[in-house]
Amino acid sequence: MAEASEAAPNLPNVLLLKPLAFPHVEAECSRNFLLLKAYDSPQPIHLFLSTHATSVSALLCSAGTPVTTETLRLLPCLRLIVTTSVGLDELDLSECRRRGIAVSNPGAIFADDVADLAVGLLIDVVRKISAADRYVRRGLWRVEGDHPLGNRLGDMKVGIVGLGNIGFKVAKRLEGLGCRILYNSRKKKSFVSYPYHSNICDLASRSDVLVICCALTDQTRRMINDRVLSLLGKDGVIVNVGRGAIVDEEELVRFLLEGEIAGAGLDVFENEPYVPKELFELDNIVLSPHRAVFTPEALQDLEELVVGNLKAFFSSQPLLSQVVFE
């Protein structure tokens, strides 16, 4: 750290507890700020944080980096957390609110790409695209005849769970494909006319598909449980681009294996990168390795937003994407 300080004495300090999930973002930040990399230090983390406690006012992190009350208490001068993750479940938001620590995240910059993947997963599951691809590649078309039919997407009632930036983009795309949209969210949205269901069970009972777009919180953890899956029914489909733990994964696997729901498109899992092995043999499942946000365009936007938020903070300007605490 001493060499870095001598090389760039006028750059403001930004703390990193772990490497960012986006290396190019970290590289760009290193050209604009002095990155204090706790993960590179031979010191135990608590000693490293104590050493830099009075010089750290901004922390940069990504998914997989919990920022706990204990960590925050070692950083008495911290005034900003910039996270590259839309989800905030790994940050102690209550302590941030109490301390007046501002939080910024990617906001809406990932919304289009995640919505595209959600719709892609749904189309794939309903029309059996990946399953048919495997059928052709294995030479079964010639031997066993036509592949089982898929269903028409346009007739489906799609329940959006979480009508935020991503959920709204999913709804607009599917509305354009002829789907009927319903939704569940913390609050009714005044800017849409879609039917609102405050109870997730009511939404499931009236939907052919549930698309999970909400954040992981104490209230949403395993919200999609056996009761919800039962109400969705044998012809129902789950698409999850939110967080794996919003769905009771064990129950989802059981329902799929027993044919109690028709299929699923999953970009997220409860214990990533570990995926229940039972899913690998099912043809009515489409699996994606948590890559919904990973497009070159989104990563470029993320780089500009992260650097922009940090520059705004250090120049006492409004943040570009500040999280509003409720």
Q: Which residues are known to be catalytic? A: 243, 272, 290
- 162: left (phi > 0), else alpha (psi -120 to 50), else beta? left
β-sheet bridge partners, residue 102: 80
Backbone angles phi, psi at 59, to 5 degrees: -125, 135
CA distance 147 to 58: 56
CA 37 and chain centroid, separation: 25
SS3 content of the chain, % helix, strand, coil (to 5): 40, 15, 45
DSSP codes joined into one string, 78-110: --EEEES-S--TTB-HHHHHHHT-EEE--TTTT
Q: Are 103 and 86 in contact (CB under 8 A)?
A: no
Please state, in angstroms and as integers, the Cα–Cα distance from residue 248 to each residue in 51, 101, 192, 231, 269, following that order: 42, 33, 29, 15, 10
